[in-house]
């Protein structure tokens, strides 16, 4: 068995924006690396404001898009590049996506069980009606839904929260090892969000599934995650056990997020986005947070910040955490290897 269940190795996704002439490139995900230990199902929250690259990262992990650079491994096997039919099937069994809007995941003209049975046959490999039924029933039970409440019904006969449970059930049919859930509760009534979030904890504990929970809602992330990755403009700027990251943030951006949560109550979303700075910030060659950072020094605008291990599995990408002078040489080298 590989020592890592998931390994994201120096992955980037570059998009061209504007025309071919006079257009520019942005790194939606910019040299991201991350590993999750094998044999230990966990909930990893990826938190960041809109435009920070969360969806792009999630889509690369779920193999819905390919990285421009770098590679992603599951159980030590690369999932990037071409996969043959068998490898693709194996991947789909192991990794299942859950999308933001459950009403977009199901056609309004089909009963939702159509999708459940399709997944049971095509991905989970159920043979015959009985096996498919069993797989569907078990998956629905795993999310707390009775089959007769679901089978034969159309999407509009469910609430958003219930339908998201059905899409989690669909994802659970192949008994995946990893669920990639991109803002799964943002379209759901605030009062029902915790139900779905709690469900993730149950699935981790009962079905040993690792969950990548992508969110811009720090309060649910705090509640549900074992690990947390804070993204800013395509970079993971801080990573570690959620209790450490959210109680003793090492990166000034994480600090700022936590302050703003304290100010505006439970959530932060639109309040945090700065659309007019976005494209410019993507192009910063050194620290992308330099323009907003209260601790900014000259070096932050000139040299890429180092990844600093602050102990207890927590790390952050910031000059503030090191002796500025000593890292100058080392970081200059990093700039070269990290250049787009
Ligand atoms: N297909 C695409 N073409 C061009 N730019 C894109 C594309 N997808 C995402 N982007 C850009 O990449 C950045 C990150 O987007 P995204 O991953 O959707 O962030 P998030 O999910 O955190 O809001 C944004 O600036 C977005 O406009
Ligand atoms: Mg997104």
Residue whose CA is at the smallest distance from ligand 1 atom 3: 15
- What is the Å distance from ligand 2's center to 231 Cα? 12
pTM assigned to the model: 0.89
- What is the Å distance from ligand 1's center to 47 Cα? 15
Q: What sign has the CA pseudo-torsion 198, 202, 205, 210?
A: negative
Domain boundaries, the chain: 4-338
State in words which class domain 4-338 has: alpha beta
240 near 315, Cβ under 8 Å?
yes
**Closest approach atom of ligand 1 to CA 279:** 25
- What is the Å distance from ligand 1's center to 210 Cα? 25
Q: Which residues contact 213 (CB under 8 A, 6 or more apart)?
A: 43, 44, 45, 46, 181, 184, 197, 200, 220, 221, 224, 225
- What is the Å distance from ligand 1's center to 56 Cα? 6
Q: Which residues contact 271 (CB under 8 A, 6 or more apart)?
A: 260, 264
Ligand number nearest to the C-alpha of 48: 1
**Closest approach atom of ligand 1 to CA 17:** 4
- What is the Å distance from ligand 2's center to 97 Cα? 13
Q: What angle do CA 22, 28, 30 make, to 5 degrees?
A: 110
- What is the Å distance from ligand 2's center to 322 Cα? 32
Residue whose CA is at the smallest distance from ligand 1 atom 17: 53
127, burial (CB in 10 Å: exposed 0-12, middle 13-18, buried 19+):
exposed
Residue whose CA is at the smallest distance from ligand 1 atom 27: 51
**Closest approach atom of ligand 1 to CA 57:** 17
**Closest approach atom of ligand 1 to CA 16:** 4
Ligand 1: residues whose CB is within 6 Å? Answer: 15, 17, 26, 28, 48, 50-56, 278
Residue whose CA is at the smallest distance from ligand 1 atom 14: 53
Strand 178-182 versus strand 95-98 pairing type: parallel
For the chain, which residues score pLDDT lower than 50?
265-277, 328-329, 331-340
* Mutation pick for ligand 1 pocket among 28, 65, 181, 277 (CB with most ligand atoms within 8 Å): 28
- What is the Å distance from ligand 1's center to 52 Cα? 8
How far is 178 from 62, CA to CA, in rounded Å?
9
SS (H, E, C) 112-126: HHHHHHHHHHHCCCC
Instruction: Say what the pLDDT of residue 119 is.
Output: 95
Which has the closest alpha carbon to 173: 231, 210, 131, 204? 131
Ligand number nearest to the C-alpha of 275: 1
- What is the Å distance from ligand 1's center to 227 Cα? 23
| pLDDT tens string 61-89 | 999 999 999 999 999 999 998 999 999 99
């Amino acid at each position: 068995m590989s020592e890592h269940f998931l390994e994201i190795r120096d992955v980037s996704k570059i998009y061209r924006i504007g025309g071919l002439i006079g257009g520019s490139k942005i790194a939606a995900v910019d040299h991201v690396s991350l590993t999750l230990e094998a044999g230990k199902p966990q909930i990893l929250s990826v938190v960041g404001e809109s435009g920070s690259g969360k969806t792009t990262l999630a889509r690369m992990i779920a193999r819905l898009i390919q990285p421009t650079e770098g590679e992603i491994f599951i159980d030590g096997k690369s999932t990037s590049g071409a996969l043959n039919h068998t490898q693709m099937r194996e991947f789909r069994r192991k990794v299942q996506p859950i999308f933001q809007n459950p009403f977009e995941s199901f056609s309004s003209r089909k009963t939702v069980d159509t999708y459940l049975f399709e997944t049971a046959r095509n991905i989970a490999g159920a043979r015959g009606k009985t096996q498919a039924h069993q797989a569907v029933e078990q998956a629905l039970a795993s999310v707390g839904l009775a089959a007769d409440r679901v089978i034969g019904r159309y999407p509009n006969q469910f609430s958003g929260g219930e339908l998201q449970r059905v899409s989690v059930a669909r994802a659970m049919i192949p008994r995946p090892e990893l669920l990639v859930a991109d803002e799964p509760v943002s379209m759901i009534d605030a009062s029902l969000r915790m139900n779905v979030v709690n469900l993730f904890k149950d699935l981790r504990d009962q079905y040993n599934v690792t969950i990548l929970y992508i969110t811009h809602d720090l309060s649910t992330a705090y509640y549900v995650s074992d690990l947390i990755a804070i993204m800013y403009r395509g970079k993971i700027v801080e990573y570690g056990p959620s209790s450490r990251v959210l109680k003793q943030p090492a990166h000034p951006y994480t600090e700022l997020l936590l302050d703003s949560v304290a100010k505006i109550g439970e959530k932060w979303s639109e309040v945090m986005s700065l659309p007019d700075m976005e494209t410019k910030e993507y192009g910063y060659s050194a620290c992308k947070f330099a323009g907003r950072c209260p601790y900014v020094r000259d070096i932050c605008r000139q040299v890429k910040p180092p990844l600093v291990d602050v102990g207890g599995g927590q790390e952050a990408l910031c000059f503030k955490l090191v002796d500025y002078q000593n890292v100058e040489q080392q970081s200059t080298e990093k700039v070269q290897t990290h250049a787009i």
